Chain A
Amino acid sequence: MPEGAEQAFIEAVTSEHPELVEEAEVLRPKRVSIVAKREGFLDLARVLRDRFGFLHPVSAGAVDYLKEDRIQMIYYLMNPSSRFMLTLRVDLPRDEPSLPSMTQIWEAMSFHERETSEMFGIDFEGHPNMIPLLLPPDWKGGYPLRKDFEGEGAES
C-alpha cells in the first residue's frame, strides 16, 4: 500500500462530497475516521461503497455520550485492497435516535444493527428483520449499554 493512502482518501472524500462530511481525519496509520452529517448519510455510505471500494463490512456499534446528550453510531468498514479500517460515524440525539438502515448498502450490517438497536434503542428505518439478537424476547429492562441504564432483568 502506498504511503499516505489514508490522507489521499480523506482528501478525495472531503473534496468530492463536502456537503455530506462533517469531519474527517486520520487517527493513526490504518485508522481513518469520518463523522458524517445525518442528512444524506445513506448517500455517503453508497459513495463509500461504490466509489471508494469499501465493500467489506466489519461491524457496527454505538457509544452513548450522556453528558453531551448524543449517541454516536459507528460503522466499521474495510477496503479489501487498501486494507485500512474506516470508522464511519454519525451523531444522533439521545431522545429520538433514528437512522436509515445500512443493510441497504451492506447487507451484513443486519446482525450488528439488531444488536445496537436493542442495546441503545436506535431505530433503524428500513431494516428487514428488526428483532432482538442477544437479549431475551421478553426483555423490558431498557437499553443496557446506555450510560443511564439502571436495574436489570426481564419483567413478566
Chain B
Amino acid sequence: MSEPEIKPDIMRVSWGPQHPMSGQTRILLDVDGEKVHRLIADLGFTHRGIEKIMENRTFLKGIIPIERMVMVDTANVGLCYVLAIEEALGVEAPERANWIRSMICEMARINSHLYAFGLQAEAAGYFPAVFLWTTVDREILLDLFERLTGARWSFNFFLPGGVSADLPEGFQDNVIEGVRYLRKRFAQYWVAMVENAIFEMRCEGVAVLKREDAIRLGATGPVLRGSGIDMDVRRDEPYAAYGDLDFKVITETESDSMARLKVRFHEIGQSLNMIEQVANEIPGGPLRTRVPLFARAKPGEVLSRVETARGELGIHMFTDGGMNPYRVKINSPSLRNMYVFERLAELDEILIADVPVVINSIDPWYLDSDR
C-alpha cells in the first residue's frame, strides 16, 4: 500500500501483519504521544480471489471455496451461497432440513462469538486463561459438528435443496447436554469478564460509535446492534427456520466496546435457546429436494442475505444459463466494519493501549474482508 502523508509532529507506527494480536492485516497508527489520531487499515494480505474462483466452478463446487471465507463460522457463509443457488434454481429445502440448518448456524455463531471473547480477554491484558476456557468450550460444539457432519471446521454440509445427512441417533440429547453445560459456563464468563472491574476499565467508554455514525458508516452485526440499532437479517428477512424459532434481536445503547461485547454475550443466550428449541421440536420429513448435479440456472440474478456472526453477508449471484455462475459478488461484513474501525479514532479518543481492545470489539475476520 502506498502510504498516505503524515502530518507534522505525528509519529506513524506500523502494527502487524505478524503481530499475534493484529490478525492478518497491517494497521498504521498515527500517534501523538499516547493518543491515536488516525487509524489506517492495510488489507489484502489474505486475498485469494474467491469471487473469481467462483466464476470457474459449477454451482455445487463453489460451496467449498466460499466456506474458506470465515473458518470459525463456515455454516452461515456456506448457507448464504446455498440459499442463492436454491433461489436461482427455483428449489426449496424441506422443513426438517431448514431446522437442521438453523441449528448448525446457531452453533457456528456461538463458536465464533466464543473465539471473539477469548481474543477480547487477551487484548484487554486480562488473564490469558479466558482464551483457553473458550477454546476448551468450543470443543463441545466442534465435537457436535464432527458427530453430525464428519468434519470439525469446514464441513460443506449444506447442499442446494437440503442437507446431506440426518441427525445421528441420540444427537438431540447430546445437544441439550451441551447447551446445559454452555449455559453454566456463560454465567461464569459473565462474572469473570463483564462484571470484572479491570475488564470494565479497559472496555467501558472505549471507542464510542454513536447511533447515527453507525448507520452512516455502514456498520453491521454486533457493531451496529451495540449502537442501539435493531437490525438483524434473521428477523427482517427470515431464512431457514428462523421464521418459526423464538428469539429476540439484542441491542445495547452504550455504543462502546463493552456494549459490542455484551451484544455477543446475549446473542449466545438467544442462540442456545434456539438450539434447544430445534432439538426439542424439530419436525420430521424428508431431508433433500433433488437437484441435478450439474444444474443450469436461468439467466438472471439473485441476492441472498444471511446474518453471520460478524453481521450481514450478502451474495449477489448473476447467472447466464450456464453451469457456473457468471459473477458472484460477496458483500462481506468484516470489510464494512473495518471501515468503521478506520474512522473510530476520529469519532472518539483512542489511546495506543486501547487499539487491540477496539479492533477485537469490532471482531473482523480478515479472510472475510479480503476474500
Residues on A lying within 8 angstroms of B by beta carbon are 27, 30-31, 55-59, 61, 63-64, 74, 76, 80, 83, 85, 87, 106-108, 110-112, 115, 129, 131-137, 144-145, 149
Say whether B2 contacts A58, CB under 8 Å. Answer: no
Contact check, B236 vs A83: say whether CB atoms are below 8 A apart.
yes
Taking a contact as CB atoms closer than 8 A, the residue among A55, A59, A132, A136 that contacts B331 in the complex is A59
B8 interface residue (CB < 8 Å to A) = no
Provided the pairs A58-B312, A59-B336, A61-B316 are in contact, do residues A132 and B49 lie with their beta carbons within 8 angstroms? no
Q: How far is the CA of A106 from the CA of B216 in the complex (A)?
A: 7
* Interface membership of B217, Cβ < 8 A: yes
Contact A56–B303 (Cβ < 8 Å): no
Closest 4 CB pairs of A and B: A108-B218, A134-B44, A59-B331, A61-B329
A134 to B334, CA, bound (A): 14
| Contact, CB under 8 Å: A80 / B2 | no
With A58-B314, A80-B229, A85-B305 already in contact, the answer to whether A144 and B336 are too (CB < 8 A) is: no
Known contacts A57-B218, A83-B236, A137 near B2 by CB under 8 Å: yes
Taking a contact as CB atoms closer than 8 A, the residue among B49, B216, B314 that contacts A55 in the complex is B216
Contact: A76 with B314, CB < 8 Å?
Answer: yes
B215 touches A58 (CB 8 A): no
Known: A61-B329, A108-B218, A149-B52. 4 other contacts (CB 8 A): A57-B218, A108-B336, A132-B44, A134-B371
The size class of the interface chain B forms with chain A is 35 or more
Kindly identify which residue among A58, A107, A129 contacts B336, using a CB–CB cutoff of 8 Å: A58
Residue in B closest to A149 when the chains form the complex, CB atoms: B52
In contact, A64 and B327 (Cβ under 8 angstroms): yes
Assembled-state Cα–Cα distance A80/B231 (Å) = 8
Considering only residues 324-357 of chain B, those with a C-beta below 8 Å from chain A are 326-327, 329, 331-332, 335-336, 338-340, 343
Say yes or no: is B295 at the interface (Cβ < 8 Å to chain A). no
Could you mark each residue 155-193 of chain B with 1 if its beta carbon is under 8 Å from any beta carbon of chain A, else 0?
000000000000000000000000000000000000000
A residues in contact with B318, CB < 8 Å: 63
What chain B residues lie within 8 Å of A64 (beta carbons)?
327
Cβ-defined contact, B218 with A56, below 8 A: yes
A65 to chain B, nearest CB (A): 9
At the interface, yes or no: B4 with Cβ under 8 Å from chain A? yes
Out of B229, B301, B305, B339, name the residue touching A111 (CB < 8 Å). Answer: B339
Contact B44 A135 (CB under 8 A): yes
Q: How far is the CA of A79 from the CA of B208 in the complex (A)?
A: 23
Contacts of A27 in B (CB 8 A): 301, 303
Task: Given A83-B236, A144-B52, answer yes or no on A107-B329 (Cβ-Cβ < 8 Å).
Answer: no
B interface, CB within 8 angstroms of A: 1-2, 4, 43-44, 47, 49, 51-52, 215-218, 220, 229, 231, 236-237, 301, 303, 305, 312, 314, 316, 318, 326-327, 329, 331-332, 335-336, 338-340, 343, 370-371
User: Do A131 and B329 touch (CB < 8 A)?
Assistant: no
Q: How far is the CB of A25 from chain B (nearest CB, A)?
A: 12
Q: Are A56 and B1 in contact (CB under 8 A)?
A: no
CB-CB under 8 A for A85 and B44, given A112-B335, A145-B51: no
Determine whether the beta carbon of A137 is less than 8 Å from that of B1: yes
**Minimal beta-carbon separation of B307 from chain A (angstroms):** 13
User: Can you report 10 residue pairs joining A to B where beta carbons are below 8 Å apart?
Assistant: A58-B218, A58-B220, A59-B314, A61-B329, A106-B218, A108-B340, A111-B335, A131-B2, A134-B44, A145-B51
Contact A63 B2 (CB under 8 A): no
Contact between A134 and B43 (Cβ–Cβ < 8 Å)? yes
> Is B44 a contact partner of A108 (Cβ separation < 8 A)?
no
**B-side contacts of A83, CB under 8 Å:** 231, 236-237
A108: chain B residues at CB < 8 Å are: 216-218, 336, 339-340
From A55, A63, A133, B44 is in contact (CB under 8 Å) with A133
Residue pair A74, B218 in contact (C-beta under 8 Å): no
- B312 CB to nearest A CB, Å: 7
CA of A144 to CA of B218 in the docked complex: distance in angstroms? 26
Q: Chain A residues near B52: list those with CB within 8 A.
A: 144-145, 149
Smallest CB-CB separation from A83: which chain B residue?
B236
Q: Say whether, besides A30-B237, A108-B217, A108-B339, A58 and B43 are in contact (CB < 8 Å).
A: no
Alpha-carbon gap, A73 to B216, bound state (A): 21
